[in-house]
Amino acid sequence: MDGLRGVAAVIVVCFHLFEPLSTGHLDQVINHGYLAVDFFFLLSGYVIGYAYDDRWHKLTIGGFLRRRFERLQPLVILGMTLGAIGFYFTDSAIWPLIHTVPVWKLLVVMLIGYTIFPIPLSMDIRGWQEMHPLNSVGWSLFFEYIANILYAIGLRKLSNKALSVFVLIAAAVLFHFVLTNPNGDVTGGWTLNWEHMRAGMTRVMYPFFAGLLLSRVAKPTYIKNAFLWATLLIIAVLFMPRIGGAEHLWLNGLYEAICITVVFPAIVYIGASGVLHQPRERQACKFLGDISYPLYMVHYPLVYFYVAWVSNNKGVTIAEAWPYALATLVGSIILAYVSLKWFDEPVRKWLRRMS
């Protein structure tokens, strides 16, 4: 599952690299790449249940939240810092606000970003109406924290039957959301308004607690070549072209709801049932798992430069953009590994000593 998390993180970066080359959701190359976030939520719920469900007799709420803080927050801070450093250097007409933002306001937005609390629209300094304009992906960490807190303060106490009912209700809410959403998909969650808060909560509630339930009731078996099959499935889901076109948006929403509620749990179960026999497989999965979270948290400050280049060269094609996209992808992976070894691991080690 570490390897699967890394595969999904790489696809997220590629999704963001192809995104500015498309005219909208209908012609995006990696059309459903944003579903990787929902997959991350499910993986997170599974891992939390597997790691902590049987430890609460000697674990406090504060102790659990401290462990989650130690795991998540260092890279939140690094990602916001890198985003702030690069803010004024991403010169593009698509961000006209950049050159009007005083340094003090940039620093305030960065400091708020360190807490992962969302900023109000009145403090948007980029113009994309994001709750974290210095590092766009921060919105999903905000909802990740909410799910962790809900788990810690009470939902972990639910019996399997009660948790099943909760998950079924969350699934019904998810289906209703995507089938009635005028966009025909689950996208949303990155703006501090009612519409996006609803989207974010809907996106995290089912997968996180379905992952928790899966960790309790599904006993892994042995599946040969599990990593390969699970990887092919996640690639197929995320690369699937838009379904239904502009005429039948609800069909795409139905596809995404089925992927989140059925296919993603199946992929996690397959991944949990795998055994890596070859040293190279273990090394590859360990590397992918190690860089997955750093890659997710530090790639967007580099993507901002790439997006600015694309926007400043109107009409650029994929054939013309791919060298820059590849350089951004490779640079993001290198930056993720450096961030892991030189910042994340040392800071987490220091935080553990301090606690």
Residue type, 72: L
Determine the pLDDT at residue 92: 86
Determine the pLDDT at residue 93: 83
Determine the pLDDT at residue 277: 77
Both structure tokens of 181: 């959403």
Stretches where the chain sits below pLDDT 50 are none
Counting the structural domains of the chain, the total is 1
Question: What secondary structure does DSSP assign to 4-54, as a single string?
Answer: HHHHHHHHHHHHHHHGGGSSSGGG-SSTTTTHHHHHHHHHHHHHHHHHHTT
Determine the pLDDT at residue 89: 87
Determine the pLDDT at residue 97: 86
Which of 298, 296, 318 lies closest to 20 in space, CA to CA? 318
Determine the pLDDT at residue 24: 83
Determine the pLDDT at residue 210: 98
The tens digit of pLDDT for each residue in 166-180 reads 999 999 999 999 999
Q: Are 297 and 78 in contact (CB under 8 A)?
A: yes
**Counting Cβ atoms within 10 Å, is residue 122 exposed (0-12), middle (13-18) or buried (19+)?**
exposed
Residue type, 93: A
DSSP single-letter state for residue 261: I
The tens digit of pLDDT for each residue in 243-295 reads 998 899 999 999 999 999 999 999 999 999 988 878 888 899 999 999 999 99
| Torsion angle (degrees, nearest 10) of CA 149, 155, 156, 161 | -160
**What range does the domain containing 297 cover?**
2-354
The tens digit of pLDDT for each residue in 206-248 reads 999 999 999 999 988 889 999 999 999 999 999 999 999 889 9
Determine the pLDDT at residue 279: 86
Determine the pLDDT at residue 56: 95
Q: Enter the pTM of the model.
A: 0.96
- What's the CA gap between 223 and 273, in Å, rounded? 6
Determine the pLDDT at residue 96: 84
Helix axes 194-217, 160-180, angle to 10 degrees: 140
- What's the CA gap between 186 and 178, in Å, rounded? 6
Determine the pLDDT at residue 90: 87
Determine the pLDDT at residue 73: 98
Determine the pLDDT at residue 69: 97
The H or E element that residue 211 is part of is helix 194-217
- What's the CA gap between 351 and 330, in Å, rounded? 30
- What's the CA gap between 90 and 98, in Å, rounded? 8
Cβ-based neighbours of 110, under 8 Å, separated by 6 or more: 80, 81, 83, 84, 134
Question: What secondary structure does DSSP assign to 160-206, as a single string?
Answer: HHHHHHHHHHHHHHHHHHHHH-TTSS-----SSSHHHHHHHHHHHHH
Q: Are 142 and 190 in contact (CB under 8 A)?
A: no
